[in-house]
Amino acid sequence: MPSDFIVFGQPQLSDEEISEVVLTLKSNWIGTGPRVKKFEQLFAEYKTTKYAIALNSCTAGLHLSLLAAGIGPGDEVITTDMTFCATLNAVIHSGATPVLVDCFADTFNINPQELETKITSKTKAVIVVHFAGRMCDMDSIQSLCKKHGLILIEDCAHAIESEYHGKMSGTFGVFGAFSFYVTKNMTTGEGGMITTDNQEMADKIKILALHGMSKDAWNRFSDEGYKHYQVVAPGFKYNMMDIQAAMGIHQLKKLERHWIRRREIWEFYNRQLQDLPLTLPLDAEKKTKHAYHLYTPLLQLEHVRLTRDQLLQALCEKKIGAGVHYMALHRHLYYQKALGISAQQFPHAEFISDRTFSIPLSPYLSDDQIDYVAASLKKILLRSLRPSKAVC
Ligand SMILES: *Cc1c(COP(=O)(O)O)cnc(C)c1O
C-alpha cells in the first residue's frame, strides 16, 4: 500500500510554470494582460485557427459561443446525454431549449443518426463532446450541420490534442471550447479557451467576456494613455488572468510529452487489464489522434458480485482515486424534471452510467504507481468473480 493517496487527475506542474507565475506576480500586472495575449497566440497557432480567446472556463466558452451565435429563447440546441453537466448548463443559461441524444455504448460519443432524428425547424446548434479524447464521427456531424444550416460547437474539454482525418479538434465547427481545469490534459488552475476562424464571433466573445465593454477596453490602463469605453451589451466576467496564462504558456509546450506518457499508461492498462470482467476502452480509430484524457473501462456486472460503486469504494480503500465519467445527464433529478426526460430514452448512456469508472491517467504517475493501480484493480475483481461465470 502506498503511503500517499493516488489523486485522480493530478496535474503535472513544474519549475517553469512556478517561475512564470512568480514573474507575473512580481511584474505587478496579474490581470488580463500580455501573458494572456501570448497564450492566446500560442494556442491559436497550435490549433491552426485564426483566433483563440482565453476565458476563465470552458463553461464560459460554451455559454458565450451560443450567445455570440445569437442563440436564445425559442431556439433548440442538440447535445449528448453522456457529458459533464456544464455542457448542458451552458445551453440552459443561453435561454435555448436543450435536446439530448443518446451515445454509442462503445465509444460514449453522440450517435449522429439519432442526432438527425432530433433536428426540427427550431434547431440552431449542435454541441458535440469528444468523449475521453476520442473524436466524434465528424464526417457525419459536419455534413448534418451543413445540410440543416446548424452552428457546430465542439466541446473539446477532453480533447485538446485530438485530431480527425488530419484536422485538429476545435476546428470543425464555428467554435471549439477547451478547458484548463485542474484535471484536464493541461491546466491553468481554472481556465478555458474558445477557438474560431470567424472574426465577428471572436470580437463578440471578447466583448461579452468582459462586461460587454467595447473592444480593447481592457487596454485602457496601459501606458498608451487612458481610453474611454462604451458598454455595448450586458456582458459577463469571464476573462482569464495573466497568472493563469503564465501556467498555460508552459503547459502548452509540455502537451505532447504529457500525451506520450498518458498513451504509455493507457497501453499499459490495456495489457494489464485483459481477461478481467471489464470492457476496456476501444483503441484509437484509424486516421485519428486520441487525446487519452480518461481511461474508462466498463464493469461487467453480470460477472462480478460487486457494483460499480462498491468497486470505487474498494479502490478508495487501496488509496486509489477513481472517478465516474459520467452519470448521464438524464440521471440527475433536476434535468429529468426540467427537460421531461427519463432513462428509457437513453439506453446506452444508462448502461454506461451503471458500469463506467475512470482510473488515474495523469502523466504525473510513476511506473510503480500505475503497476499498483492495475494490480489492485485485478485483485479486487478476481476476488469478486461470480463462481459460475468465472472468466479465464
Ligand atoms: C470539464 C468539462 C467542462 C467544463 O470545463 P470548465 O473549464 O471546468 O468549465 C465542459 N465539458 C466537459 C465535457 C468537461 O469535461
Tens of pLDDT, residues 146-190:
999 999 999 999 999 999 999 999 999 999 999 999 999 999 999
d(CA 155, ligand 1 centre) in Å: 8
| Long-range CB pairs of 88-94, under 8 A, 24+ apart, other chains included | 88/329, 88/335, 89/59, 90/59, 90/62, 90/63, 90/66, 90/127, 91/62, 91/66, 91/127, 92/338, 93/63, 94/63, 94/66, 94/67
pLDDT tens digits, one per residue of 3-20: 899 999 999 999 999 999
Report how far residue 233's alpha carbon sits from residue 212's, in angstroms, rounded to the nearest whole number. 5
Atom of ligand 1 nearest to the CA of 62: 10
Report how far residue 357's alpha carbon sits from residue 299's, in angstroms, rounded to the nearest whole number. 8
Nearest CA to ligand 1 atom 15: 157
Torsions phi, psi of 55, nearest 5? Answer: -135, 180
Would you say residue 221 has pLDDT above 90? no
d(CA 81, ligand 1 centre) in Å: 14
Asked if 111 and 347 touch (Cβ cutoff 8 Å), the reply is no
Which residues, including other chains, have CB under 8 Å from residue 44's CB and lie 6 or more apart? 50, 51, 52, 195
CATH 3.90.1150.10 domain span(s) along the chain: 255-383
Question: Which amino acids are annotated catalytic?
Answer: 184
* For range 267-294, the mean pLDDT: 97
- pLDDT at residue 387, as a whole number: 83
- pLDDT at residue 226, as a whole number: 78
Q: What stretches of 48-167 show up as alpha helix (H) in DSSP?
A: 58-68, 85-94, 112-117, 138-148
Report how far residue 51's alpha carbon sits from residue 41's, in angstroms, rounded to the nearest whole number. 8
Average pLDDT value over all residues in the chain: 96
* For range 348-371, the mean pLDDT: 97
- pLDDT at residue 3, as a whole number: 86
* For range 84-113, the mean pLDDT: 98
Q: Which CATH architecture has domain 255-383?
A: Alpha-Beta Complex (3.90)
d(CA 210, ligand 1 centre) in Å: 20
- Three-point CA angle 41, 43, 44, nearest 5°: 65
- Three-point CA angle 344, 347, 350, nearest 5°: 95
341: which 3 cell numbers?
426526460
Using CB distances shorter than 6 Å, the residues near ligand 1 are 57-59, 83-84, 86-87, 129, 155, 157-158, 179, 181, 192
The pTM score is: 0.96
Fold type of domain 15-253: Aspartate Aminotransferase; domain 2 (3.40.640)
* For range 130-142, the mean pLDDT: 98
Would you say residue 392 has pLDDT above 60? no
Report how far residue 122's alpha carbon sits from residue 132's, in angstroms, rounded to the nearest whole number. 30
Substitution site in 179, 193, 244, 356 for ligand 1 pocket (most atoms within 8 Å of beta carbon) = 179
d(CA 228, ligand 1 centre) in Å: 35
CATH 3.40.640.10 domain span(s) along the chain: 15-253
Atom of ligand 1 nearest to the CA of 192: 7
Only one residue has cell 485538446, namely 160
Substitution site in 62, 81, 84, 131 for ligand 1 pocket (most atoms within 8 Å of beta carbon) = 84
d(CA 306, ligand 1 centre) in Å: 30
Beta strands in 261-307 (DSSP E): 278-279, 288-289, 298-299
Confidence of residue 79 (pLDDT cuts 50, 70, 90): very high
* For range 75-97, the mean pLDDT: 98
Atom of ligand 1 nearest to the CA of 59: 9
